[in-house]
Structure 1
Amino acid sequence: MDPQRIDALLGFLALADRLKTVERRGLVPLPDGTLRRENSAEHCWTIAVVALLLHREVAAETDLARVLSMLAVHDLVEVEAGDTYAYDPAGRATQVERELAAADIVFARLPPDLGPRLRALWEEFEAGETPEARFAMACDRTQGFLQNVLSGGRAWRDHGVALADTRPRMAPAEAVDPAFAALIGALYDRARQGGMFGEAPPA
């Protein structure tokens, strides 16, 4: 491997490592009973575990290696664009523009044979049109919901996220396969029983 390629790969890995510093609104329960913010790297790792667990539970045949590759890169743009909270309308209004600009920066750091390949995986995930992308999306949204349940719904309550607010986000994941519908349904049951949702904002 030539020195320029080594430098490019190490530089990109250093850039990707910054994902550990991107905080999400989701909270992680600690052994002492306190909560801390989840970071995007932890989020990506947990989604990969969800994918490994559910890959054989769904009816559609998917390429697991491609799914895991998509999950590994799907949030890399956040090192430049930051995380956009799923229930922040103002942030979501500019998310596409910000993340496209970030993708130009992030994937350009790779050698020319790798940058387009990783960007294509990111674009496939964002488009959500292939079986692998739909499965990856369902894993992503399931993990986010799970994180809220594990932390007792604190982020939902802090941001006034009502049960009804979560339905548009979770319905596409539930529609991917009955396995996702069953898992997400069980999480909804736990969230309702635990009084985890916030109050809907006044009309």
Structure 2
Amino acid sequence: MASKSKARVTAFTDLPSSEAKWVKLQKIDYIDAKGTSRVWEVATRKTRGKAGVDAVAMGNIIYHPSKPPSTILVLQFRPPVEATTVEWPAGLIDADEQPEEAAVRELYEETGYRGKVISTSPAVAADPGMTNANMCLCMMEVHLKAGEPEPEQHLDEGEDILRVNVPLAELYERLEGWAKEGYVIAAKLYHWAAGVQYAMDHPELFKKLDQPGAGA
């Protein structure tokens, strides 16, 4: 099991939106479905580019000629949750980038691997009750050769990211284990792993109606 980061939070202080580089706090006045005027507080990003999407996460499948399919996860200290998190690689989309371009770049920077984007999700909400932040999920494939060494990461200054390669068949169990040890699991990764595990445990729920044994 990977060791937790020794990084730690030393203080929380209030920050005026005018002094913030990445996010700002706003008040929304709106009228609900019954015609009642209401107020909502929202954290908004300041960095959204021309793609209209803030960030991208890279779901990834690693193929190796002599090993079972796996996925590369990243462990890093996240100050907002005061803990080391377990996540798929992810990052902000630059102003002139498309999600797929950012996915290839970020996967290479955080893991060293060169991957191919297989599919891209629509822009989805990250936490719609609190923020307008959105993201895309790019599913990627990395095909390795026998004997190919683990590549070097290309991290930005200040990044401290540990890579962990996990066989897909063990992913859900490994995430459960990390959570018990005090790591914080990223929701998008856990939801994907839990969905895959549920489908494996209950295959009868996913039979198409035209398949034998799927019902009357």
Question: What is the TM-score of this pair, normalised by structure 1?
Answer: 0.25
Query: Higher strand share goes to which structure?
Result: 2
Query: Higher helix share goes to which structure?
Result: 1
